[in-house]
Structure 1
């Protein structure tokens, strides 16, 4: 499979993009995390901390179109546990022009390829709000399996939301790798 996207490290100037994405109510409402207003300066510090922090249990990727340099989204792997070989695909945020056009699927495939081939993980989990049909379809499409529904797992927008727990283990990844020629 030929990817139409690349991952690159964050740059300080990416903070403007991150802050602009954070202001999109349509995006924030579908993500598992809590929403809060964040200043550009706070996001600039966050990006700088990512660039200089070298966290042993989280990796963030700026997403670009293949051969391009401009950020169009970002994704992360967190809760990296090398002893148990487990991690959490913490999600993806994409420019609204890219969402729903296969970009999320490519990001997901590239994330699991990195998790299983570079980090040598045995299991990668993900979580999706029950009402986020697009994310659920994409995760199943790339090989994640539903483990269950976590009831009232996330409080946002004044109410509790259910959240699906999904995972992919190495055997699932090997099948996807062969099927899609990753």
Structure 2
């Protein structure tokens, strides 16, 4: 069962990972729908997941379960944190059943807020495979700029795939940071700072 709520969003909360959550992480880390886009190419058992859990909070990394109504639907992580240089990398995934509902966008936006507002970082990095149009679209929607492509960088499902690299500066985030407001019908909707629905 997920731990305490660390960051609360409109529909998604980022909650701490507890030992009871390791089976959820193990099962989804082995799911081809998640492991292939994430480029996990070896199986993960519960003991290996436990080792990762033990290391998760040892450094400056931060991993959270993305939860809807208290139930986990995904995972987001801030890693390779360099406080002196002011940068880090993000990664994220959502369970296949929860994809397409905007949960990943909200969870990643919460993580970016945390990185810039609480960790005082200056720059974030992310990467996505050429074949993962949804992830690339999410990054671009949140203001990340494509900074380069490494051709045939990753071997996935029997073929070499390009990897796209993205970056986001704190000042750029201030211009696209999603705000929450209620529509005339009373439903919550998300907008970026430039007024485009996300």
TM-score by length of 2: 0.80
Q: Deviations over 1:24-69 (max 9, x none)?
A: 11222212x331111123213322443xx4312x11111111xx33
Give the equivalent residue in structure 2 for 1:37: 43
Q: Over the residues paired in the alignment, what is the CA RMSD in angstroms?
A: 1.8
Give the equivalent residue in structure 2 for 1:144: 144
Q: Deviations over 1:54-96 (max 9, x none)?
A: 312x11111111xx3332211101111111111111x112121
Give the equivalent residue in structure 2 for 1:20: 27
Between 1:155-164 and 1:166-175, the stretch displaced more is 155-164
Q: Deviations over 1:114-146 (max 9, x none)?
A: 111011111101100011000011110111111
Counting only pairs closer than 5 Å after superposition, residues 19-98 of structure 1 correspond to structure 2 as 19-31=26-38, 33-50=39-56, 53-56=57-60, 58-65=61-68, 68-89=69-90, 91-98=91-98
Between 1:79-88 and 1:22-31, the stretch displaced more is 22-31
Instruction: List structure 1 runs of 4+ shifted beyond 6 angstroms.
Output: none
Give the equivalent residue in structure 1 for 2:108: 108
* Structure 1: unaligned runs, 5 residues or longer: none
Following TM superposition, by how much is the alpha carbon of 1:3 offset from its aligned partner in structure 2, in angstroms? 2.3
TM-score by length of 1: 0.87
Q: Report 1 or 2 for greater relative contact order, CA contacts < 8 Å, sequence distance ≥ 6.
A: 1
SS of the aligned residue for 1:97 comes to: helix
CA contact (8 A) 2:15 2:67 kept: yes
- State how many pairs are aligned: 173
Aligned partners of 1:78, 1:41: CA distance in 2, in Å? 21
CA contact (8 A) 2:126 2:167 kept: yes
